[in-house]
Amino acid sequence: MTLDYPALPGVSESLKHVTEPPYSFFMAIQDIYPTALRLLGRPVLVVGGGPVAERRAKGLLDAGAKVTVVAPVATQNLHALAASGLLTLEQREYRTADLDGVWFAQTATGTSAVDTQVAADAEAQRIWCVNASDHEASAAWTPAVAVVDDVKIAINAGGDPRRAMALRNAVATALETGDLPLRRHRKPDAAVNAGSVALVGGGPGDSGLITVRGRRLLGQADVVVADRLGPRELLKELAPDVRVIEVGKTPGHHPVPQLEINRILVDEALKGNRVVRLKGGDPYVLGRGGEEAEFCRQNGVEVEVVSGVTSAISVPAAAGIPVTHRGLAKGFSVVTGHEELSEVPARPDHTVVLLMGVAQLRDSAAALAGSGLPLDTPVGIVENGYLPDQRVTIGTLGTIADQAEAVGVANPAVIVIGDVVRVSPFAPQHFKTADYSTITPNRPRVRSN
């Protein structure tokens, strides 16, 4: 019988024409068949006691293998692992009988002759063995490995370990940042895994300001319960079968009551779904995240809270306004426009940040003035922070309400009250500080004639 195959790049002409059984054909340049070994409870052998052997032994222990290390000399960590009963350490030279009953072997002696002998003995017994001294002659290769959640990445790169590690790191980073999908498609039994809820702070709206952890969880989600604010652009990147439940609120209009939002989170998790509650800012900064987390725990649902970049600090920063600045302000208070301001220090050197405060701006300014805050205290309003339509309005406590009405300031907006507004590049020239030194307190710059 004659089998003829077309010529392929890199394939020897002698392999094209096969005339004798067994009929075989090398369809790839490298004769590697990627697989994963399940070594839980199975005996394995590591020959060698140096740092490489130590790393390989730890990896095998992580896989649940019963590890025996054979070496005349071993590292302190290998001795410690043996003393704790996690592995067996035989301090002697290698013997062929060490391979009896072994499922897998790893050489790492640093001596080519010994590694070659172990590999040859393993080959004779049909035991897979990694020969650390000669990767070309090795029956198996150890890949560069990374673990992201329950995903294990293993990369071989033609026997080039540094190349494999670089590729592994790149793939792991892409998974960790949500650039590659980590979402499960084969769902576990709901009776075994009742799903989970993650309260993810998405920051002030720009998709680049969500944390790496938040982005990863969003990429794993089966259901996303979304607010009106936050990184809405990321919703477009979700897989088509990910359900998005809109529960966004606007001032004075709550189409989905908070109790209903709580119920949605629990019900979806109990169906076995990974649920992400995507919020603007930080879940625990005036975001009712504490209520949602408590409700989940009361109903037996696992919940994780991922902090976000709160708009109380980040949105002022988008306009160049620090909430503290040496010589101008050492502390700050964050309140909503719905709260009483009588307890807030009425001093220009204590920054007041108002969230959701546009509708009550005139009343809030009057309340602060009534508490003793000077009417010439600088005030900045930042609308749509970090977004293309960001707008900054700067005035004083005595003028800001009229200015806001004149230009039509609207939510979402953050209001900053205090001397720190002077630092903003958007501040009028006569607002700006004389310098940014930290030796002496800054003073307003005197306008020259």
In tens, the pLDDT along 138-159 reads 888 777 777 877 788 888 777 6
User: Does residue 443 carry a pLDDT above 90?
Assistant: no
Q: Confidence class of residue 171 from pLDDT cuts 50, 70 and 90?
A: confident
User: Does residue 340 carry a pLDDT above 70?
Assistant: yes
| Superfamily classification of domain 43-142 | NAD(P)-binding Rossmann-like Domain (3.40.50.720)
Which is more confident, 327 or 303? 303
Confidence (pLDDT) at 156: 76
Q: What value does the mean pLDDT of the chain take?
A: 85
Q: Confidence class of residue 17 from pLDDT cuts 50, 70 and 90?
A: very low
Confidence (pLDDT) at 96: 96
Instruction: Please state the rounded mean pLDDT for residues 13-29.
Output: 46
Q: Confidence class of residue 166 from pLDDT cuts 50, 70 and 90?
A: confident
pLDDT in tens, 67-118: 999 999 999 999 999 999 999 999 999 999 999 999 999 999 999 999 999 9
Confidence (pLDDT) at 5: 44
pLDDT in tens, 34-71: 788 899 999 999 999 999 999 999 999 999 999 999 99
Q: How far is CA 441 from the centre of its chain?
A: 40
Instruction: Please state the rounded mean pLDDT for residues 317-334.
Output: 92
Which is more confident, 444 or 2? 444
User: Does residue 388 carry a pLDDT above 70?
Assistant: yes
Confidence (pLDDT) at 188: 58
Confidence (pLDDT) at 23: 45
Confidence (pLDDT) at 10: 43
Cβ–Cβ under 8 Å, residues 393 and 407 = yes
Which is more confident, 300 or 152? 300
CB atoms within 10 A of CB 403: 16
Cβ–Cβ under 8 Å, residues 367 and 324 = no
Phi-psi region of 6 (alpha: psi -120 to 50; beta: other; left: phi over 0): beta
Lowest model confidence (mean pLDDT) among 183-197, 261-275, 282-296 = 183-197
**Percent of the chain topping pLDDT 90:** 59
Beta strand pairing status for 391-396 and 151-155?
unpaired
Show the 3-state SS of the chain: CCEECCCCCCCCHHHCEECCCCCCCCCCCCCCCCCCCCCCCCEEEEECCCHHHHHHHHHHHHCCCEEEEECCCCCHHHHHHHHCCCCEEECCCCCHHHHCCCCEEEECCCCHHHHHHHHHHHHHCCCEEEECCCCCCCCCCCCEEEEECCEEEEECCCCCHHHHHHHHHHHHHHHHCCCCCCCCCCCCCCCCCCCEEEEEECECCCHHHCCHHHHHHHHHCCEEEECCCCCHHHHHHCCCCCEEEECCCECCECCCCHHHHHHHHHHHHHCCCEEEEEECECCCCCCCHHHHHHHHHHCCCEEEEECCCCHHHHHHHHCCCCCCECCCECEEEEEECCCCCCCCCCCCCEEEEEECCCCCHHHHHHHHHHCCCCCCCEEEEEECCCCCCCEEEEEECCCHHHHHHHHCCCCCEEEEECHHHHHCCCCCHHHCECCCCCCCCCCECCCCC
CATH 3.30.450.40 given to domain 196-309: no
pLDDT in tens, 242-264: 999 999 866 555 688 999 999 99
The domain locations on the chain are 43-142, 146-176, 196-309, 313-431
Catalytic site positions: 227, 249
Which is more confident, 443 or 110? 110
User: Does residue 351 carry a pLDDT above 80?
Assistant: yes
Q: 313-431: which CATH architecture?
A: 2-Layer Sandwich (3.30)
Q: Confidence class of residue 217 from pLDDT cuts 50, 70 and 90?
A: very high
User: Does residue 11 carry a pLDDT above 80?
Assistant: no
